[in-house]
Amino acid sequence: MATVKYDESTRIYPGNDAPSVDRLNIDIADGEFLVLVGPSGSGKSTALRMLAGLEEVNGGKIWIGDRDVTNLSPKDRDVAMVFQNYALYPHMSVADNMGFALKIAGVDKGEIRKRVEEAAKILDLEPYLERKPKALSGGQRQRVAMGRAIVRSPQVFLMDEPLSNLDAKLRVQTRTQIASLQRRLGVTTVYVTHDQVEAMTMGDRIAVLKDGILQQVATPREMYDSPANVFVAGFIGSPAMNLVSVPVTDGGVKFGSHTLPVSRDALAGGGSNVIVGVRPEDVEVTSGEGLELTVDVVEELGADAYVYGTPTDENIRLEGGDDALAKPFIARVDGRRVPMKGDKVFVQPNADHMHVFNADSGARLSG
């Protein structure tokens, strides 16, 4: 096991002016499960491949333990990677697939068999050791790929969206197994995903990237409760945080017909407008004060329901959405008292759980 350090690590692909990963700085503790998350093109897979030695590092360094591995070949880094497509040899049995890297390294046959059987026991693969990959389900193949990494006893596990080929139910089940397995083995793990729910449920800490730039590194709870900027606020959480551009007024900010109390110190440097963020579960439906919405869709989930609405005031702008799509305002309500489509409702944030961001820079001001 070992620590991992990205030290101003930069990757610029030939022909590109902008770095795909720009001066990345992350310290990963020994035995930590760190998740790199971000939208497509954010640089998360490139950052992982830089650590694996599969991408050149054009600036800065990468450390594994006390070794500078920036210029080492992949085989000399003592890491094991689990790919999105599993990369199993179809003509080999499960046991041979799991032990192949050890065989190439010249490890004794008895030792290989011992390590393969130990990994198979951990992963519940013992009944399948003599089968070929085509006789396995997607989840079983994924576990074989995990087993191939485990038998090598590496210092670091690297996982590049290993669950993306599984169906929704199996993804939930398998991500729990991976997180449990990593904690049992205690191996430092860097895991890439575009799925922020996966990131929240698996990682000890999450690193959010956008356009190759690190936005925030924090525990799931810290990131959920205190996002560093508008991008992180809108990206982490499902459904996403509501982000509304509102004017600053005496005593706070104007939210529809209601003034939300925010101290002048908290608004310092925010200008005449700020962005207020509120998660759907922290929205209160009022009897006639706050932001008026027209209900577009109601998503019923049993005990709860999510109301998706459009502000009736055309001057109210919702931030963080796709420019081509109108972004709705989302409120979680009691599933037994649900408004109807087309109804008008008034909402306002719970003042104890709202977030305030600079409208120009997107940086967090308070909350």
Lowest-confidence range among 80-89, 266-275, 301-310?
266-275
120: DSSP letter: H
| Whole-number pLDDT of residue 324 | 47
ω into residue 239 within 30 of 0, thus cis? Answer: yes
- Residue with more model confidence, 317 or 359: 359
Give the phi and the psi of residue 343 in degrees, each rounded to 5.
-65, 155
Q: What percent of the chain has pLDDT over 70?
A: 97
Question: Would you call 15 exposed, middle or buried from its count of C-beta atoms within 10 A (0-12, 13-18, 19+)?
Answer: exposed
Q: In what order do the strands lie in the sheet with 213-218?
A: 79-82, 156-160, 188-193, 33-37, 205-210, 213-218
pLDDT digits (tens, 9 = 90+) for 205-254: 999 999 999 999 999 999 999 999 999 999 998 888 999 988 888 878 88
Residue 15 pLDDT > 80: yes
Q: Quote the percentage of the chain above a pLDDT of 90.
A: 57
DSSP conformational letter for 229: B
| pLDDT value of position 153 | 87
Check pLDDT > 60 for residue 148: yes
d(CA 22, CA 120): 40
Helix axes 109-122, 94-104, angle to 10 degrees: 130
Q: What is the band of 267 on the pLDDT scale with cuts at 50, 70, 90? A: confident
CA angle in degrees (0–180, nearest 5) for 194-228-348: 95
CA–CA separation, 166 vs 355, rounded Å? Answer: 36
Q: How far is CA 21 from CA 67, 158, 212, 365, in A?
A: 21, 17, 4, 27
- Average pLDDT, integer, range 274-284: 92
CA dihedral 219, 252, 234, 244 (to 10 degrees): 170
Q: Best-predicted range by mean pLDDT among 22-31, 177-186, 300-309, 348-357?
A: 22-31
Q: Name the residue with tokens 């309500």.
A: 333
Q: Single out the residue of 4, 155, 157 nearest to residue 68, CA to CA.
A: 4
List the single range of 6-10, 15-19, 32-36, 56-60 with lowest mean pLDDT: 15-19
Q: Whose CA is closest to 300, among 264, 337, 329?
A: 337
| All residues at 6 or more sequence positions from 92 whose CB lies less than 8 Å from its CB, including other chains | 100, 132, 133
**Position with higher pLDDT, 160 vs 314:** 160
Q: Half-sphere exposure (CA, 13 Å, Cβ side) for 59?
A: 12
pLDDT at 125 over 80: yes
pLDDT for residue 325: 55
Give yes or no for residue 50 having a pLDDT over 90.
yes
Cα separation, 277 vs 357, whole angstroms: 8
By CB atoms closer than 10 A (0-12, 13-18, 19+), residue 314 is exposed
Q: What is the DSSP string of 292-361?
A: EEEEEEEEE-SSEEEEEEEESSTT-EE-SS-TTSPPPEEEEEETTS-PPTT-EEEEEE-GGGEEEEETTT
> For residue 33, is pLDDT > 90?
yes
**What integer pLDDT is reported at residue 49 of this predicted model?**
96
Q: Is the pTM of this model over 0.85?
A: yes
- Asked if 150 and 124 touch (Cβ cutoff 8 Å), the reply is no
pLDDT of 291 strictly over 60: yes
For the chain, what is the mean pLDDT? 90
Q: Which of 206-215, 238-247, 260-269, 301-310 has the lowest mean pLDDT?
A: 260-269
pLDDT band (50, 70, 90) for residue 174 = confident
Q: Which residue has the tokens 């459904």?
A: 239
Collapsed DSSP state (helix, strand, coil) of residue 254: strand
**Domains recognised in the chain with CATH numbers:** 4-230 (3.40.50.300), 240-366 (2.40.50.140)
Distance CA 98, CA 113 (A): 10
